[in-house]
Amino acid sequence: MKAIISVTGKDSVGIIAKVSAVCANYKANITEITQSVLHEYFAMIMLCDITGITVPFAEFSDQLTKLGRDNNLEIHAMHEDIFNSMHKI
């Protein structure tokens, strides 16, 4: 089971570290990262294997949203099925 974590907002030191720490904390395995910085804006998409996460996905997602709020970033974790449904036939 995979989830996609999207992070957008103003660039600052340690964004990847903070998001990765939450993933590690709940045993979500990061399998792929793409990220870019355009002017001072940061955008990252992480693909995570959430098969072994230690809490329900909703709680994992809430933790990331909270991390985003605390750091002035938009962070959303969404199950990959929504993207597959929309963009693959």
Q: Which residues bind another protein (CB under 8 A)?
A: 4, 6, 32, 34, 43, 45, 47, 57-58, 61-62, 74, 76-87
Q: How far apart are the C-alpha atoms of 59 and 28, rounded to whole Å? A: 13
Smaller CB separation from another protein, 39 or 87: 87
Q: Smallest distance from the beta carbon of 38 to another protein, in angstroms?
A: 12
Smaller CB separation from another protein, 21 or 82: 82
- Give 33's Cβ-side CA count (13 Å radius): 13
**How long is the chain?**
89
Q: Smallest distance from the beta carbon of 71 to another protein, in angstroms?
A: 17
CA Rg value for the chain? 13
